Amino acid sequence: MQDLLALDGVDLASVAAREGTPLHLYSATAIRQRIDGLQSALQGVDATICYAVKANGNHAILQLMAKSGVGADIVSAGELRRALRAGIAPSKIVFSGVGKREDEIAQALEAGIARFNVESRAELDLLQRLAHARGVVAHAAVRINPDVDAGTHAKISTGKSENKFGVAVAEARQWFTAQAQWPAVRLDGLHMHIGSQILELEPIRRALQRLARFWRELALAGHAIASIDVGGGLGVRYRQGERAIDAADYVAAIRDALAGFDGRIVLEPGRYLVAEAGLLLARVLHAKQGSERTFLVVDAAMNDLLRPSLYDAWHDIVRVGDDNGRTTTTYDVVGPVCETGDTFAVARGLPRCEAGDLLAILATGAYGASMASTYNSRPLAAEVLVEHGRYAVVRRRQTLDEMLAGEQAATHWETA
């Protein structure tokens, strides 16, 4: 692998020395390139990109989205707050998720978001009740479960009939037929999201075709469909040799499947926009020679980046600096957390490393910091946005006091 010294013009060794490790970095330029690429591919299409906030909801990232005209796909009241605070217009916010709480729906109605992606009859009833009580009409899309295998990891597959997400076409058909039951809900959209980290167009095509077939059926039956939301899921390159789907090919597949549709197309990319723009810097604490393996113990852990533990996900790892003359050594790269699963890489070839060396774990911009926890009482890492040789801290490193705030002795006993 090529020597890695800088990200978006910022020297990695210097920023690590100044801000400490573990440290999440995101390149604003790389994120903008992804947005621009997708927006260019969508030229001439009536489309809204609603960035999936859960991929990385950092305020500065969301501001960058807002400034580029990108909306938000939210899954909680917390994400609604984040999107609004970053200046994303409510008219560009869609609300997804299988378990929206009453107070969350109420907040979204009060904010006047564009659309609810409804996943169950109970949710439809609740939306009716809450919209009616406020004297408003909520726009809703039915999330269809197209029953296709996205060909991705089981834990990030969402479009098979056994998954908890969406409803079968037969059920959705009933909702459209019985629409008058929900006068405070305008059911005029279709939605799907079949999974994440999809690297082949084929499952996407198949799902789009099923969605399109249903749209045509509804249109023939006289139901006006104003919006078709094709979800997210576009995969990214996590390891050398992997190839992400080209934005132009993806958009061509959408245009092809939805030819003749004259409403709005919504896209909900998360990972695609931010994953490859990010990296996680970690410092080597020491190399530990086990009886069978050599462990490289670093100061980042599964609480900073959960994907390897949760999904057996691969992230390329490089030693920051000049590798000249270093022999390649095989390491298990592990964090300090008391779990065997706290492992970033197994039997990975790296230039020989020693204590104090800096490693970059690549493509961590999505589902990195946003999935972080304080497990093992490790404060949340700092995050920085870098751009053209400068960087800004966009999340301070959490202090121990901040981490402990909210906990207290059991002095106020109540009965319930």
Ligand X SMILES: *Cc1c(COP(=O)(O)O)cnc(C)c1O
Partners of residue 266 on adjacent β-strands = 48, 229
Q: Within the chain, how many helices (H) and strands (E) appear?
A: 12, 19
Contact 93, 57 (CB under 8 A): no
Residue 272 contacts ligand X per CB under 6 A? yes
Number of residues binding to ligand X, judged by CB under 6 A: 17
**311 marked as part of a ligand binding site:** yes
Q: Where are the beta strands (DSSP E) in 18-164?
A: 23-27, 47-52, 71-74, 93-95, 115-118, 138-143
Residue 54 contacts ligand X per CB under 6 A? yes
Residue 271 contacts ligand X per CB under 6 A? yes
**367 marked as part of a ligand binding site:** yes
Say which of 259, 338, 409, 410 is annotated catalytic.
338
Residue 115 contacts ligand X per CB under 6 A? no
Of 307, 317, 266, 278, give the one whose Cα is nearest residue 73: 266
Rounded Cα distance between 166 and 162, Å, is 10
Of 350, 326, 313, give the one whose Cα is nearest residue 236: 313
Residue 152 contacts ligand X per CB under 6 A? no
Helices (H), 321-367: none
Residue 76 contacts ligand X per CB under 6 A? no
Among 25, 31, 53, 55, binds ligand X (CB under 6 A): 55
CB of 155 to ligand X, least distance (A): 12
Q: CB-wise, 268 or 304, nearer to ligand X?
A: 268
Residue 234 contacts ligand X per CB under 6 A? yes
Site for ligand X in 286-345 (CB under 6 A): none
Handedness of CA 359, 56, 190, 267 (dihedral sign): negative
**307 marked as part of a ligand binding site:** yes
CB of 123 to ligand X, least distance (A): 14
CB of 196 to ligand X, least distance (A): 3
Rounded Cα distance between 22 and 24, Å, is 7
Q: CB-wise, 115 or 319, nearer to ligand X?
A: 115
Q: Is 50 known to be catalytic?
A: no
Backbone phi and psi for residue 24, each to the nearest 5 degrees, phi listed first: -90, 130
CB of 47 to ligand X, least distance (A): 15
Among 269, 308, 365, 368, binds ligand X (CB under 6 A): 269
Contact 142, 227 (CB under 8 A): no
Among 21, 48, 56, 96, binds ligand X (CB under 6 A): 96
Q: Which residues are catalytic?
A: 338
| Site for ligand X, rule CB under 6 A | 52, 54-55, 73, 96, 193, 196, 231-234, 268-272, 366
